Homo-oligomer: A and B are copies of this chain.
Amino acid sequence: MERTLARRTLLAATAATGTGVAWGTAGRAAAHGGKRGERGVAQGAVDAEVARLERELIALRRDLHRHPETPGQERRTAGVVARELRAAGLTVATGVGGHGVVGVLRGVRPGRTVAYRADMDAVPPKDIIGGGPAAAHLCGHDVHTTVSLGVARVLAPLRTRLSGTVVFVFQPAEETLSGARALIDAGVLERTGVEEIHALHCGPFPVGRFAVTPGYGLPGQDKAEVTLSGPDAPGDAGRLAAKIAALATVAQPQTPADLERLIADAQVPGGPLARFLAVRATAQGDTVSVSYRCWPEERYAEVRADIRRLAASYPGATVSFPADPFPAMVCPEPDGRRLARHLRRTVGRDAVVELHAAFPPFSGEDFALYLDRVPGTYTFLGVRAPGAPVTTAYPHFPDFAPDERAIGLGVRTMAGWLAERTSAAQRG
């Protein structure tokens, strides 16, 4: 119930924003129905362009990496992005929903409008696993931004063969789950008439592999607070916190072996992560604070009932849920399967791993808010170098260090994929 309400509120807020600024209504006038075929964007042309640009893109990523900016403070990164997009000839809007940047690339042929989203912010010190001295690009957003700029640079000179419109959305403040909301409220989807949205995220898979997520994605999050009364309220609070924590079906990984097991489990159809519940519950005085993530998100109601049931065994306990849950990111199945086919065609049959779980169970993504509105895909770009420790490819670890060969692979696949989607006769 809360979920529905939250989405309605969001949609109402979005509908209230204006339209018609410079970057608005991109491609709206173009008739749909352009055909993909020999005369469209050829993957060979994309690959040749990527080969030419790859070194430059790696240098660009290193520059972004050296200048990490916390959520909401992506001033310099946004400046680099806008400069690169303009140099490639795109129509660019800056300062969208904070430091957001939107670049519009119009193909010469009629077609659909498809968005590609990259996030720009670095990980704040407190969100680095074990804590860190300063913000750092330990979630791969520097790679995501570079891949997106690479796609823009590759497709721009091919626009005579490109159908429809590609909208490049560079989002601030992903780590605080606030940037997507700000961009949506600024009308980024409506103004450009976006019909689909796609994204890549660095993940702990071998470089050269992509992990597709049809039907899965990432969990949302919900919070509860229970207040106890009676002579041993603090003891009851401690016990209740432990009982609620024991509802969890998956524990935070503590060792590299735990991480490896989690990655393997996520690839097992109907495996241990097909449904899950991750919980954190703490007692302070007579109060228990709970924060949890689950999959599928229909389980929110069930988990809330479980928390109420456990609390009910303490007379006088009161339970409250202070806010609607943050929505899960659910990737539509048909889009994910279609992307898997594109990836197999482009980089080979072995290049595609399929996840059968929302992964990792302990993280959220505000890409969820876009996928609540339009279909699309969210795919993990393997960044683990051969023989490298798993933590070098697992976001938020202090030694996170993606294999940069992933950048060229990301650009090749996404440029081809977006050209395919803008030229699709219709969704399906």
Contacts and interface: CB of A to CB of B under 8 A. Distances in A.
A178 interface: yes
Interface in A403-417: none
Contact of A283 (B70, B124, B126, B282): B282
Contact of A72 (B76, B134, B232, B280): B134
B75 A75 contact: yes
A9 to B, nearest CB: 15
Interface stretch (A209-217, A236-244, A337-345): A236-244
Interface in A233-292: 233-239, 241-243, 245, 280-286
Contacts of A242: 233-234, 237, 285-286
Interface in A25-77: 69-73, 75-76
Contacts of A133: 178
Interface in A113-144: 124-126, 133-135
A420 to B, nearest CB: 37
A360 to B, nearest CB: 21
A91 interface: no
Contacts of A178: 125, 133-134
A149 to B, nearest CB: 21
A94 interface: no
A35 to B, nearest CB: 45
Interface in A5-25: none
A411 to B, nearest CB: 28
Nearest to A98: B134
A346 interface: no
The interface centre, meaning the residue of A98, A124, A282 with most chain B CB atoms within 10 A of its CB, is A282
A229 interface: no
Interface residues of A, number: 35
Contacts of A98: 134
Contacts of A176: 125
- How many copies, total? 2
A107 to B, nearest CB: 36
A31 B237 CA distance: 66
Contacts of A134: 72, 98, 178
Given A236-B235, A238-B238, A284 B281 contact: yes
A234 B245 CA distance: 11
Contacts of A235: 232, 235-236, 238-239
Interface string A164-196: 000000000000101000000000000000000
A283 B134 CA distance: 28
A56 B48 CA distance: 56
A126 B175 CA distance: 12
Given A73-B69, A135-B72, A280-B284, A239 B245 contact: no
A133 B176 CA distance: 9
A170 B241 CA distance: 45
A336 to B, nearest CB: 32
A241 B284 contact: yes
Nearest to A76: B75
A68 B135 CA distance: 17
Contacts of A281: 284
Contact of A232 (B73, B239, B284): B239
- Of all A-B residue pairs in the complex, the 5 with the closest CB atoms, nearest first, are A238-B238, A234-B242, A73-B73, A283-B283, A235-B235
Given A232-B235, A235-B236, A245-B284, 8 more contacts: A70-B71, A126-B126, A133-B178, A134-B178, A237-B283, A238-B283, A281-B284, A282-B283
